[in-house]
Amino acid sequence: MSTKIAVIGGTGLYAMMGGFTKTHQEIINTPYGEPSCPLVQGKLFDKEVVFLARHGFTHRLPPHKINYLANIWMLHKVGVRQIYAVNAVGSMNPSCPPQSLVLPDQLIDYSWGREHTFYAEDLEKVVHIDFTQPYSEPLRKTLLQARDNTGLSVVENAVYGCTQGPRLETAAEVKRLQRDGCDLVGMTGMPEAALARELSIDYASVAVVANWAAGIKDENISMAMIETALQQGMLDVETLLTEAIRIGA
């Protein structure tokens, strides 16, 4: 049997993935509480694929309220071994304008107060996972091959900074992120990536640029701008992920 693959993304992404056949939808209980929503399970190109709407089906969960532990534990429990995570971001890199797709290869975590590890208590000994390369290189390679096959333009490397939200950043905060070497800023990339690593699940992120980060342009950021850019970007995400799943190991 092929590897079970999960896509973590926005509500309704699975409905957009041409060829995906939904077989069932399941509420899964976890020792860490409730996941964001029931898991949509099905098939794409004979591969078992599951979809998780990170913010819930009705987009009710802000980034800091998402139960990342329950979500990742649930995916592991149903046998998922590869995760493609879709993350909306602001950009501070001129090569990554709104609507573009970017594959981060590094991250810096600025989030705080989130439950962020499966290794918190009841330990026989303290566990430190290696996180030098936070994203799976094999999954990134598959995404790059999918980019080449589809002819989409996808930026290959970026540093993702994860802020706490739900507010957007100040211009000075974005300047600090730039000084730190960040190209992108989002709110949902952590602790998700680290939790997947703790359970040995391959994890890669496809970042969709929703806006220029605060202060990069001489304008404020509106939800309308973000939504327009995301709508177009998500069409490309769907094409990229469909191809990645088709060709992936």
- Give the residue at shortest CB distance from ligand HPA: 90
Q: How far is the CB of 90 from ligand HPA (least distance, A)?
A: 2
Measured from the CB atom, the residue of 28 and 226 that comes closer to ligand HPA is 226
DSSP 8-class letter at 242: H
Q: Which residues pair with 205 in a beta bridge?
A: 85
Q: Does 70 bind ligand HPA (CB under 6 A)?
A: no
CB of 233 to ligand HPA, least distance (A): 11
Residues in contact with ligand HPA, counted by CB under 6 A, come to a total of 12
Cα 19 to its chain centre, rounded Å, is: 22
Q: Which of 5, 210, 237, 241 binds ligand HPA (CB under 6 A)?
A: 210
The one segment of 35-43, 83-91, 123-131, 134-142 that binds ligand HPA by CB under 6 A: 83-91
Give the end-to-end CA distance of the chain in Å, rounded to a whole number: 11
Binds ligand HPA by CB under 6 A, chosen from 168, 175, 199, 246: 168
Site for ligand HPA in 129-148 (CB under 6 A): none
Query: Does 185 participate in binding ligand HPA (rule CB under 6 A)?
Result: yes
CB half-sphere exposure, 88, CA atoms < 13 A: 23
Of residues 145 and 228, the one with the C-beta less far from ligand HPA: 228
Residue type, 178: Q
**What are the E-state strand segments in 124-174?**
154-155, 159-162
Q: What distance in Å separates the CA atoms of residue 96 and residue 212, rounded to the nearest whole number?
A: 9
Q: Record the tokens describing residue 208, joined without a space.
A: 């969709």
Q: How far is CA 126 from the centre of its chain?
A: 28
Contact residues for ligand HPA (CB under 6 A)? 88-90, 163, 168-169, 185-187, 210-211, 213
